[in-house]
Structure 1
Amino acid sequence: MHTQEAKNTSAWRSRVGASALAAAVLVAGGLSAVALASPSANAHDRSASEASRSLAAKVQRLEDIEDIHQLKARYFRFVDEKKHDELAALFTPHAKLVTDGIKWKSPQDFAYTIRDLTGEAPSAHSGMMPEITITGPNKASGIWSMQDVLTFPAGKDAPEGHHGYGQYRETYRKVDGKWLIDSVLLTRFRMDPIPNWNPPKAATPETAPSHAAPAK
């Protein structure tokens, strides 16, 4: 009896030992598989993360370039709309400005001289074919082809009007998340004189033509 029990106990221990060994092999194999798979998974994650950062950087670059386009568009519009305070606010406080060889002390000096020189004289400014380059964190440069038309009310001592052609070379800086003009170099390649004129007066209720139907 004791002999049979010993045999059964020995067989049971053998089965348990075999099961434990098999489990150990499976666990070890699983760990090895995880170890082998981890570098590939990590590499994939790194690649996806780098691609995401690259895409975000490209989108940011395009947004910055568009913001600079809008900045320059406001520059031209404020000059023509005679919004000189708004014009001065488009620059960094210590921006360097040189136009046609004239060096200006400050953006305010530049804007207010335009105000005093041109007064209400009509003008039309435009910029074309911009080449904008992001040169560093919060920094950029640009080259613009330009044209401007400026005339003064016709009179005895009126300054001569012109149609000018030239180029802006500028730098920009982002301050508190907003792009501003940091330097300007304006060079005109050609200036064609044009006659001055007196723009028509805006219609008033007294001078506007009547469109009322004739009385029958």
Structure 2
Amino acid sequence: MHNQESRKVAPWYSRVAGTAAAAAVLVAGGASVVALNSPSAGAQDQSVSASSHSLSARVERLEDIEEIHQLKARYFRFVDEKKHDQLAALFTPNAKLVTDGIEWKSPQEFASTIRDLTGKAPSAHQGAMPEIKITGHNTATGIWSMEDLLTFPDGPNAPEGHHGYGQYHETYRKVHGKWLIDSVLLTRFRMDPLENWTPPKDAASEATPSEPSKAAADN
């Protein structure tokens, strides 16, 4: 009798065990689905997305600051290399420029005046310790410490040359993906007098009838 009851119970127990195992699988699977769709999982996804966006924003900010550094470097270089058309192109069309208390009507007037005053006289401009702040998607501000050696062609009405020290306070604007100078305020803390530049004499004018050239003497 005992053996018969055991044989009857065994199939029933197997079915129950199998059903329980299947239920466990379903419950585990459901728990996984719930976990994936739970608020905590969504929050984690949002956190990852926010972190990626934050990283992207920081990289873009650093790239913008470096582009502004390059922009100002070109400004100094174009002044010293006498590339006045390229200098004017570094500004927005309606940029406001004030240097040493003089307000210029346009970037082109500013660049043309530098060209007319300095001519071929050598100059040297440097900027340092930039404080660049990105203020918007397409706007920024900057403060630069500056030093310049500026001379003019020597003459009776020539401005006085100087070795100057001061600061540039500027704003920048990105136009069609390119950073440009939108305003300039140049103030100086100190200006030391500097002797103006005397153009070198032409080789042809150095030779006089009483001092024939070496080539003529050799003949």
Q: TM-score, normalised by structure 2?
A: 0.78
Unmatched 5+ stretches in structure 2 = 1-7, 204-219
Distance 1:130 1:115, change over 3 A: same
Name the stretch that deviates more: 115-124 or 36-45.
Answer: 36-45
Distance in 2 (CA, whole Å) between partners of 1:68 and 1:96 is: 17
- Read off the aligned partner of 1:28 and give its amino acid letter: V
2:64 alignment partner in structure 1: 64
Distance 1:202 1:172, change over 3 A: farther
Report deviation, 1:30: 2.1
Distance 1:57 1:18, change over 3 A: same
2:139 alignment partner in structure 1: 139
Distance in 2 (CA, whole Å) between partners of 1:188 and 1:58 is: 34
Distance 1:86 1:156, change over 3 A: same
Post-superposition CA distance 1:19-49 (Å, at most 9, x none): 4565345313420243135434433332222
Post-superposition CA distance 1:25-77 (Å, at most 9, x none): 53134202431354344333322222222111111111111100000000011
2:178 alignment partner in structure 1: 178
Distance in 2 (CA, whole Å) between partners of 1:52 and 1:202 is: 64
2:33 alignment partner in structure 1: 34
Name the stretch that deviates more: 13-22 or 116-125.
Answer: 13-22
1:4 alignment partner in structure 2: none
Any idea what SS the aligned residue of 2:135 has?
strand
Percent of aligned positions with the same letter in both sequences? Answer: 71
Distance in 2 (CA, whole Å) between partners of 1:116 and 1:197 is: 15
Q: TM-score, normalised by structure 1?
A: 0.79
Distance 1:102 1:153, change over 3 A: closer
Instruction: Tell me the C-alpha RMSD between the 2 structures.
Output: 2.9
Any idea what SS the aligned residue of 1:136 has?
coil
Distance in 2 (CA, whole Å) between partners of 1:190 and 1:164 is: 6
Matches within 5 A, 1:99-114: 99-114=99-114
Any idea what SS the aligned residue of 1:60 has?
helix
Name the stretch that deviates more: 24-33 or 61-70.
Answer: 24-33
Post-superposition CA distance 1:89-119 (Å, at most 9, x none): 0001111111111111111111111111221
1:187 alignment partner in structure 2: 187
Aligned positions, number:
199
2:207 alignment partner in structure 1: none
